[in-house]
Amino acid sequence: MSHGHNKVDITEDNSSDIEIYLNSIFNNIENPLFVKDQSSRLLLVNDACCSMFGLTREEMIGKTLAEQVPINEREHFLSIDRQVLEEGKEILCEEALTASGKQTRIIQTRKTRFTDRQGNYFLVGVINDITERKQAKEELRLAANVFTHALESIMITDNTGTFIEVNETFTRMSGYSRDEVMGKTPRILKSGRQSSSFYKEMWHKLLTKGYWRGELWNRRKNGEIYAEMLTINAVKDSDGNVQQYVALSTDITQLKQYQRKLERIAHYDVLTNVPNRVLLSDLLSKAIMQCQRRNKILAVAFLDIDGFKSINDSHGHNIGDELLIAFSKRIKDALREGDTLARIGGDEFIVVMSDLEKPDNSKLVLERLLKTTINPFVLTEAEVRVSTSIGVAFYPQDGLDADQLIRHSDRAMYDAKRAGKNCYHLFDIAQDNAVKLQLENINDIRLAIEKRELLLHYQPKVNMQTGEVIGVEALIRWQHPVRGLIPSLEFLPVTEGHEIGLEIGEWVLNNALEQIKHWQKMGITVPVSVNISAYQLQQADFVTRLQTLLTAHPQVKSNCLELEVLETSELSNISRVSDTMTACHKLGLRFALDDFGTGYSSLNHLRRLPTQVIKIDQSFVRDMLEDADDLAIVEGVIGLASAFKRDVIAEGVETIAHGAALLKLGCKLAQGFGIARPMPAIDIPKWIDNWKPHNSWQNKDN
């Protein structure tokens, strides 16, 4: 080797070493390399190239690589080789590669022509696997597309709460453009409806839990107030420090307006605009608690218009409605400030007078009511005269709860009717007698349990359109040795809140499970729903006892048992009841909200309790064909069930016409005397075999 002029003299002795060095470098380069001849056939490939294709050198030399390209792309692949070899172009191209059954990869190949000393052309290729880069790029594109076109409003702020990005839905919802909010905070949206404590609690949960979810009222750029369901999540780095906040929200303004409208329909009498029976129950319960705290007396007066039916018959319903409106106005004008008037149906009204020192304090108001209603009513097309019969019950001497006071005042009203009408009558049975009677009834029921006089009947529930029997409801009956078969409403209410009520509730669950097992042995699988009292549901060991019953019936699938909770039940701790229901869901059970629409907290129960089914109360269904108010409530409940994604079933379907009307409103599930009366368990299999829905119910227009 000569060292003059820094030239390397390659001799025969060291040329083989250089070849070894070059070969080592060629095969240790991470990127696949290859050399092709003028026919696009491989002359050289490095180790990385062999590894990518999963082939040995011997399997690759002499091939074109086109064999590894999808058939429909091979001609294009070879045409690129020809352009490089014939035109001397350097080409950067992408191809899809599937080698040796491996996952398809996306490769980027740089192809260059070089010429040897003899003037022969060769193609040199360098391959770069860009699959991950392409996937990351596609994921970024998809993420950007989702962000831009999401139906939810998306806001991103830094850790100080300053906007750094919003999507198009946010700008449409708020009215602010992206540029208008950049550098600002969400405080520009504040409506003023939430207190400072609300925001303090929100930030406390964000900082401690890392998320917050709830309803919020905000203000659009044009000043309009809107409601939204908002979820905020804190985005943290690897050290747990908050970097950004991401908020997703949905405009629920229309849903809130719909809720308010339904609340109005459900709780106020449409004709007279005074509270109805549903709202009265809540208002009266609150008034009782207030009187209890203040050690005061409360009067419940039950008013019935004397002769109202004859006016309806002789003058028509329009005049009757006009009279009811005028009557309610006179009653309200005669009451003291703070007294309550409610219409509970037809020509029946309730007046609640609270904060009385003694029963005699109600006399002036009662006499004023009689006097004001006996004066003639001058209506649009007639002048009519009526009088009023009033029954009065007092808290606490005549009853301790709303239902009892209303029942006792109703009974006293009939005494006023019998006394000649146009007068008031005071309920005169002492509270002690009522308590004694309740204890006697409870003792009778306890004996009935011991003598095995209680039994279950079952009422089918069906899909009126398809004819499918979707289940049966278990209804307790008392086979009394003297009085015969007694329905539950005549003996069960006195057990509410009493230990014997828990015993009966567990008896019903156990017998329902036994019946399901018996039907299963006959080849019949039919879900059974059981009514659960609020008292039983709120027992601390309810889930444990229920699980014990299910374990004792291993053949019965838990999804064959459904629990129905009365919407009017006294659910004192909604949060705990919700947790109990969630625990029951994990056991496989479903819940239905029974008698929906008859309780003041309907919407609150629907929103907070994880029920799957809403049962429309039969009182609304029964009169929906004649009473526009009941029809509106039924329609509203069906709409609300759809909005909250709940199944809906109607009780009290007594006629074919009821079923047809419900189907037109979108309610397909029903039970009632028009389908089947409650029956002994032995009759259910035959009924299922023979039952068919009415032809009109199967009409596709329904």
pLDDT for position 443: 87
Mean pLDDT of 62-88: 83
Q: Is the dihedral of CA 173, 640, 658, 304 positive or negative?
A: negative
Spatial contact of 53 and 60, defined as CB atoms under 8 Å apart: yes
What pLDDT shows up at residue 569?
Answer: 59
Query: Each residue of 313-326: pLDDT tens digit?
Result: 888 889 999 999 99
Query: For residue 280, which of 345, 342, 351 has the smallest C-alpha distance?
Result: 342
- Give 702's pLDDT tier (boundaries 50, 70, 90): low
Average pLDDT over residues 133-151: 71
Phi, psi angles (nearest 5°) of residue 508 = -65, -45
Q: How far apart are the C-alpha atoms of 235 and 233, rounded to whole Å?
A: 6
Q: Quick check: 595 pLDDT over 70?
A: yes
Average pLDDT over residues 197-223: 91
The average confidence (pLDDT) of the chain is 87
What does the pLDDT look like over 357-400, one tens digit per residue?
999 999 999 999 999 999 999 998 889 999 999 999 999 988 88
pLDDT computed for residue 101 by the predictor: 53
- Starting from the edge strand earliest in sequence, which strands make up the sheet with 225-236, in order? 163-166, 153-158, 242-251, 225-236, 211-219
- How would residue 6 be classed by pLDDT, with cut points 50, 70 and 90? very low
Query: Tokens standing for 610?
Result: 């994880």
Report CA torsion sign: 320, 321, 322, 323: positive
Instruction: Kindly tell me if the per-residue pLDDT of 69 is higher than 60.
Output: yes
Instruction: Tell me the pLDDT tens digit for each residue of 655-698.
Output: 999 999 999 999 999 999 999 999 999 999 999 999 999 988 98
Q: Is the pLDDT of residue 445 over 50?
A: yes
Assess contact for 398 and 408: CB atoms under 8 A: yes
Q: What is the pLDDT of residue 332?
A: 93
Q: How far apart are CA 189 and CA 199, in angstroms?
A: 13
Instruction: Give the confidence band of 2 by pLDDT, cuts at 50, 70, 90.
Output: very low
H helix count then E strand count, the chain? 24, 27
Domains of the chain, earliest start first: 4-134 (3.30.450.20), 150-251 (3.30.450.20), 260-429 (3.30.70.270), 437-688 (3.20.20.450)
Whole-number Å distance between alpha carbons of 199 and 207: 12
Quote the pTM value: 0.45
pLDDT confidence band for 605 (50 / 70 / 90) = confident
pLDDT band at 581 (very low <50, low <70, confident <90, very high): very high
Report cis status (omega within 30 of 0) of the bond before 396.
Answer: yes
DSSP one-letter string for 605-669: HHHHS--SEEEE-HHHHHTTTT-HHHHHHHHHHHHHHHHTT-EEEES---SHHHHHHHHHTT--E
Mean per-residue pLDDT, 130-156: 75
- DSSP letter for 104, please: P
Model confidence band, residue 10 (pLDDT cutoffs 50, 70, 90): very low
Mean pLDDT (whole number) for 135-160: 76
- Mean pLDDT to the nearest integer, 428-438: 60
According to the model, what pLDDT value does residue 371 have?
A: 93
Instruction: Label the pairing between strands 647-650 and 613-616.
Output: parallel
Position 582 confidence tier, pLDDT thresholds 50, 70, 90: very high
Looking at residue 1, what is its pLDDT?
A: 39
Lowest mean pLDDT among 6-20, 65-79, 433-447: 6-20
562 membership: H or E segment, kind and range: strand 561-566
Does the pLDDT at position 431 exceed 60?
no
Q: pLDDT category, 638, cuts 50, 70, 90?
A: very high
* pLDDT at residue 165 tops 90: no
* Predicted local distance difference test score (pLDDT) of residue 166: 87
Per mean pLDDT, which range of 5-14, 45-54, 285-294, 617-626 is the poorest?
5-14
Among 431, 341, 435, CA closest to 388: 341
Cβ neighbours of 74 (radius 10 Å): 15
Poorest-pLDDT segment among 271-280, 423-432, 501-510: 423-432
Q: What is the structure's pLDDT at 65?
A: 80
Q: What is the pLDDT of residue 701?
A: 58
- pLDDT reading at 12 higher than 80: no
Q: In the structure encoding, which two tokens stand for residue 665, read together?
A: 């409103």
Q: What is the mean pLDDT of residues 300-318?
A: 92
pLDDT of residue 14: 61
Q: How confident is the model at residue 422 (pLDDT cuts 50, 70, 90)?
A: very high
- pLDDT surpasses 60 at 83: yes
Residue 8 pLDDT greater than 60, yes or no: no
> Which range has the top average pLDDT, 143-157, 244-258, 368-382?
368-382
The pLDDT of residue 549 is: 94
